[in-house]
Chain A
Amino acid sequence: MRILIRSSEQFFTRQPAQLALALIGVAAGVAVVTGVALMRNTMIDSLDAAAKALAGDSSLRIEAAPGSSLDEDWFSQLTRQPGSPALIPFLSARVRSQGNILELLATDPISANASQTLAAYRGTATGLLVNPMAVIVNRVTAKRLTVTTDDPIKVRVDGRDIELSVLAVLDGEPWLDNRLLMDLSGAQQLLNKQGQLSWISAPTEAKAWLEARLDRQLKLIESSERLASVERLTAGFRINLTALSLLALVVGLFVVHSVLSFLLVQRQRQIGVYRALGVTPAQLRAWLLFEVLLLTLIGSLIGLVLGTELARALLVLIQNPSAELYGMVTGQQILPSRAVYLGILALALGLAGLSVSGLISSALRIPPGQLNRGSSPSIRPRTRFLLAIGLSGFGLILLVATSHLIAALASLFLFLSATAIVVPQLAMAVVRGVRAISPGSLPGRALGMLTASRQRLGPSMAALSLALGLSSGMALMVDGFRSAVDDWVTKLLRADVYLSLQGDSISPMQFESIRADWAEFQAVSSVRQIRQANGVQLVAYDLPDAARRGFEFLAGGDQGTWERFDQGTGVLVSEPLARRQALTIGQSVTVATPSGTVQRPVLGIYRDYASDVGQIAVAGPVFRHWFKDRSRDSVGLYLAPDGKVPNLTELAQRLDLAPSRLNLTLREDVRRITLGVFDRTFRITQALALLVGLIAVVSLVSALMALGLERRGEYATLRALGLSRAGLGGWVLTQTVGLSLIAALLAVPISALIHAVLSLAVQPRAFGWTVPLEFSVQPWIQLLPVALGAGVLAGLIPAWSIGRQHVASQLKGQR
């Protein structure tokens, strides 16, 4: 075995480029998987990191019940009771600074846990007490905001620009990533939330004590519940990213497969000799498997390091979308996880072994003493075709028979596996077609030469077609989705202008004034929403007829629907909620109110792309009856004929408020902001699709270099017969660009397939949205420059490498 391994060492030393490309392919695939996994973990882990640091590991939270706010008096009352546990008050809000969304987190800095956490930083706890407008940040956040100790930080809070000062910059402390730690009273003043809290933290062992004493208006939430809720909230987002990253790993493994296939063909003679001399099939298998696993191990270790860095970059990309979509401020610091690293390593090794098992089996079939270099045995076309049909069929069954997201993703993988099997055959059919149409031309001759290397090129063509198909399929899905969101928001936004108050709700008196006295507007709609304990949004609508026409119903929605809605005898639910809870018209939903739960039947299901969490919509009067809450979060103002929107200052005067307190947004601006959130959200998936594409180009470079080495005899002959160096370069580039263009052509139906599965199955199951299946040509047109670029890139190295050698030495190398 040692001798066999020494021969591998010699062999790889003579093929450094192939070795490098194999390592790059594995490393890149593993890097993407690792980056996404670590980013995903940080997303979840960082959520409660701050609270854990300041209030201890296992803690309960006391929060206000839906529809009410958490008064600081509750904290005072509980702490005064005999046997009261150690309670810690918190106030949290999102603020913006230099385009970054941060969490302003305020607490009592001299509470036991906070003191302990800040004990290492002398003077910080008392410093916060005596400087109410001061904040503590960590190094990562300070770097992001380009501030240091004693510097001012400008933050935007409720439409107001406030200047805070940096009291201290702490090293490390990942729980402070993207957070500003402040004293509670200072934050209450800053946020205009005097006497209010976001939650009160309590030790787990105080659960029974608290349950016996908490008012109905308060609820007790364990940290595991909170975590589970966030995981459910972000499940669709995280699963989609994970699926993309796994695809990157598969494409990366194509590179390994391609290189090993080449190495096997190169060593067929050697293997024949070994078999003749007495090497057993078992020894052969062990040797080849050892090579594969060693290559994969080295490449994976590199990939784990690169992936950790990639995770940092991905975190930056999801920072704002995470806050905008889910209200989550994510950490910046990646916490390397042994479990993640070992898991990915095992996955890469397992998949690599599996992907080359066919190659190794074919190597074992080389008879002892075979000294001629033949082509590597391959699966017959008919068998390939049947295998592809089988995989597709199984995928279709999975898709149709179940409604799980994982099943949809699994079926997508099966469909893609089926296409990977048939793409090589189809690609060679196109090549033969080009040769048949124009046999005497450069493309005809150069591409025709490749038919003898179809087994070499097959995996790389499959990888490139899949990568291009994935990239354009995702672009099609995003384009279609964006178009749907644009249509939806355009239809939904009926008011001419929308009004809300910074950091506050519109009081009943203010609302009445708007409705009665603002003559420019002929109608007013309003919205009030609260989050229920199960995470579902309860939304109260007061809607004029014009607003109702903006609702796009997927079920129900006739005139009777609105009548019953107004009477309070039923509710409307959004599509995501209907999907999650498998609701249909007539089925009941439960609404938690201060006086207990209420059941109401579903009258209609409406389209809502604003949130994948789900909404229950009730009529405004019904909501106010249940919750005794007459405030409004925002109002929509409908201009009367010939009416003009007054300016902000005038409207503020009418409400006796400072203009900075008002948010006045024109309909078009709301649309623009909505689409901006959408674009930021999908940036990360586009980044990942690009990475997959790059890995596929590596795969093609690897295969074409291997091709160049394998066909060097023919290239030498061509050079000898009269093909100049430049001519040979053109020959090779014609091959690579031709192959890339063929891959792009085959990527078109692949992209259509991916778009269909993503839009019709994955999106509804992940987020609860149906996305119309629309096709735009732009993603397909964009394939052309990408394929050309990939082809040129893939051809440059082989063309240079082959062309620089002397004809004589190339010819001699063939003897």
Chain B
Amino acid sequence: MSSDALLSLHKVSRSFQSGMETIRVLDEVDLVLQPRQRLAIMGASGSGKSTLLHLSAGMDRPDSGSIVLAGQTLERLAEPDLTRFRARQIGLVFQDFNLIDSLTVFDNIALVPWLTKTKSSTKAILDLGEELGIGALMGRFPAQLSGGEKQRVAIARALIHRPALILADEPTGSLDPDSADTVLDLFDQSVRSLDCAVLMVTHNQHAASRMDKTLYLSHGRLAAGA
């Protein structure tokens, strides 16, 4: 494993029970992500892309292997340290946005600094909002937003605390092509300006092409080509 890597997965395996059957979703996967590197993972539905993402975020535990993020072996961290570590180091962008319905756009973005107890000024939130084209929507609730607007809010939430790594799970999966393009442009722009590394799981070839490198997950294994 490279000691300079931001994220390293070494021989990581994960299986799930489905009735009587054990499905090996990830089979001794190795992955290295450098700081500021942007990586896309593609694969068929059910190939384990989201599982890979969840393991990288410490939201799930591998059956075997190890995961090191920013020099910290995740398996050695127990709750609540793992949660705190994840919150500080990682920004998450979900396919279904996962905004909190009862919070305004502003509060949704401010949620992460509040959870991590890191300082974040109102100005910083507003500036980021302007950058992502949602500056005028700060007082609205998620139910009042379009899909594209919601995803931009989610991106702002992921970036506000300037994490080292963005994990994006099908960020354009719920968007129409035009909205998807707009979101991708803004996403691209923002992560470059903040120098974040990105690990993006996607079906979208166009989205993947914006990353530095694309890997393919198939039958539990990662490969460079499709």
Docked CA distance A722–B116 (Å): 6
* Contacts known (A720-B57, A808-B60); A725 close to B80, Cβ less than 8 A: yes
Q: A811 near B59 (CB under 8 angstroms)?
A: yes
- The one of A448, A719, A720, A807 in contact with B103, judged by C-beta atoms closer than 8 angstroms, is A448
Query: Is the C-beta of B79 less than 8 angstroms from some C-beta in chain A?
Result: yes
Contact B112 A721 (CB under 8 A): yes
- B54 contacts A722, CB within 8 Å? no
Task: Identify which of residues 86-138 in chain B touch chain A, using a CB-to-CB cut-off of 8 Å.
Answer: 86-88, 92, 94-96, 98-103, 107, 110-112, 114-116
Question: How far, in whole Å, are A161 and B54 apart by their CA atoms in the complex?
Answer: 81
The CA-CA distance from A811 to B58 in the complex, in Å, is 13
- Contact assessment for A452 and B101 in the assembled complex, using a CB-CB cutoff below 8 Å: yes
B115/A723 in contact, CB under 8 A: yes
A85 close to B (CB within 8 Å)? no
A440 to B116, CA, bound (A): 13
B114 touches A440 (CB 8 A): yes
Q: How far is the CA of A365 from the CA of B51 in the complex (A)?
A: 40
Flag if A814 contacts B98 (CB, 8 Å): yes
A721-B60 in contact (CB<8A): no
* Chain B positions 41-57 with a Cβ under 8 Å from a chain A Cβ: 50-51, 54, 57
Counting CB contacts under 8 A, is A160 at the interface?
no
A807 touches B79 (CB 8 A): no
B202 to chain A, nearest CB (A): 15
How far does the alpha carbon of A448 sit from the alpha carbon of B111 in the complex, in Å? 13
- Interface code A418-451, partner B: CB below 8 Å = 1, 0 otherwise? 0000000000000000000001100001001111
Give chain B nearest CB distance to A449 CB in angstroms. Answer: 5
Give A683-717 as 1s and 0s: 1 = Cβ < 8 Å from B's Cβ atoms: 00000000000000000000000000000011011
Residues of A within 8 A of B107 (CB): 439, 445
B217 to chain A, nearest CB (A): 16
Does B84 sit at the interface, judged by CB under 8 A? yes
Residue of B nearest to A444 (CB): B107
CB pair B79 A445 closer than 8 Å: no
Question: Using a Cβ–Cβ cut-off of 8 Å, how many residues does chain B contribute to the interface with A?
Answer: 32
With A722-B115, A727-B80 given, is the CB distance from A445 to B54 under 8 Å? no
**Known: A439-B107, A806-B59, A814-B98. Contact between A724 and B79, CB under 8 A?**
yes
Instruction: Considering the complex, give the chain B residue whose CB is closest to the CB of A724.
Output: B80
Interface of A is mostly: helix
- Which residue of chain A is the closest to B100 with respect to CB atoms? A714
The 8 A CB mask of B137-164 against A (1 = contact, 0 = none) is 0000000000000000000010000000
**For residue B50, which residues in chain A have a CB less than 8 angstroms away from its CB?**
812
- A450 nearest in chain B by CB position: B102
Complexed CA–CA distance, A723 and B80 (Å) = 8
**Which residues does chain B contribute within 8 Å of A806, judged by CB atoms?**
59-61
Query: Which residue of chain A is the closest to B81 with respect to CB atoms?
Result: A724
Residues of B close to A725: CB separation below 8 A: 79-80, 83
A722 in contact with B83 given A808-B54, A814-B96, A814-B98 (CB within 8 Å): yes
Q: Complex Cα distance A450/B86, Å?
A: 26
Complex Cα–Cα for A445 and B96 (A)? 22
Number of residue pairs spanning A and B whose beta carbons lie under 8 angstroms apart: 84
Task: Point out the residues of chain B lying under 8 angstroms from A451, CB to CB.
Answer: 102
CB <8 Å contact, B98 and A722: no
Q: Is the CB of A721 within 8 A of B103?
A: no
Chain B residue numbers with a CB within 8 Å of A216 are: none
CA distance A448 to B104 in the complex (A): 11
Chain A nearest CB from B1 CB (Å) reads: 23
The A763-815 residues at the B interface (CB cut-off 8 A) are 806-809, 811-812, 814-815
Closest residue of A by beta carbon distance from B117: A722
A583 contacts chain B at the CB level, 8 A cutoff: no
Tell me whether B102 and A721 are in contact (CB under 8 A): no
CB of A718 within 8 A of CB of B101, answer no
Residue A726 interfacial (CB < 8 Å): yes
A contact residues, range:
20 to 34
Nearest CB to that of B79 among chain A residues? A725
List, in ascending order, chain A residues with CB within 8 A of B102's CB.
Answer: 448-452
CB of B86 within 8 A of CB of A717, answer no
Contact of A717 with B100 at beta-carbon distance under 8 Å, contacts A445-B114, A722-B112, A808-B60 already known: yes
CB pair B59 A807 closer than 8 Å: yes
Q: Which residue of B lies closest to A803 (CB)?
A: B79
Query: Nearest Cβ in chain A — how far from B82, in angstroms?
Result: 8
A717 to B114, CA, bound (A): 14
Q: Is the CB of B101 within 8 A of A721?
A: no
Interfacial chain A residues near B112, Cβ < 8 Å: 721-722
**Cβ-defined contact, A808 with B103, below 8 A:** no
Q: Contact check, B86 vs A722: say whether CB atoms are below 8 A apart.
A: yes
- On whether the beta carbons of A721 and B79 are closer than 8 Å, the reply is no
A314-328 Cβ-contact flags toward B at 8 Å (1 or 0): 000000000000000
Please name all residues of chain A whose beta carbon is closer than 8 Å to the beta carbon of B157 when the two chains form the complex: 721
Q: Give the CA-CA distance A713 to B96 in the complex, in Å.
A: 10
Give CA–CA (A723, B115) in the complex, Å. Answer: 6
- Name the residue on B nearest A442 (C-beta): B114
Residues of B within 8 A of A811 (CB): 54, 59, 94, 98
Q: Report the minimum CB–CB distance from A525 to chain B (whole Å).
A: 71
Interface centre among A452, A720, A722, A727 (most CB of B within 10 A): A722
Instruction: Name the A residues within 8 Å of B54 (CB-CB).
Output: 807-808, 811
* B61 partner residues in chain A, CB cutoff 8 A: 806
Q: Give A714-754 as 1s and 0s: 1 = Cβ < 8 Å from B's Cβ atoms.
A: 10111111111111000000000000000000000000000
CB pair A808 B59 closer than 8 Å = yes
Bound: A719/B80 CA distance, A: 10
Query: Are B84 and A724 neighbours in the complex by a CB distance under 8 Å?
Result: yes
For B60, the chain A residues whose CB sits under 8 A away are: 806-809
Name which residue of chain A comes closest to B107, CB basis.
A439
Residues of A contacting B95 with CB < 8 Å?
815
In the complex, what residues of B have CB within 8 A of residue A724's CB? Answer: 79-80, 83-84
Q: Which residues of A contact B110 (CB under 8 A)?
A: 440
**A residues lining the B interface (CB < 8 Å):** 439-440, 445, 448-452, 713-714, 716-727, 806-809, 811-812, 814-815
A-B contact pairs, 5 of them (CB 8 A): A714-B100, A714-B101, A723-B115, A726-B80, A811-B98
Known: A717-B99, A722-B86, A727-B80. 13 other contacts (CB 8 A): A439-B107, A445-B114, A448-B103, A719-B83, A721-B111, A722-B83, A724-B84, A725-B83, A807-B54, A807-B60, A808-B60, A814-B98, A815-B96
* 8 nearest A-B pairs in the assembled complex, by CB-CB distance: A722-B87, A724-B80, A722-B115, A808-B60, A808-B54, A807-B59, A724-B83, A717-B98
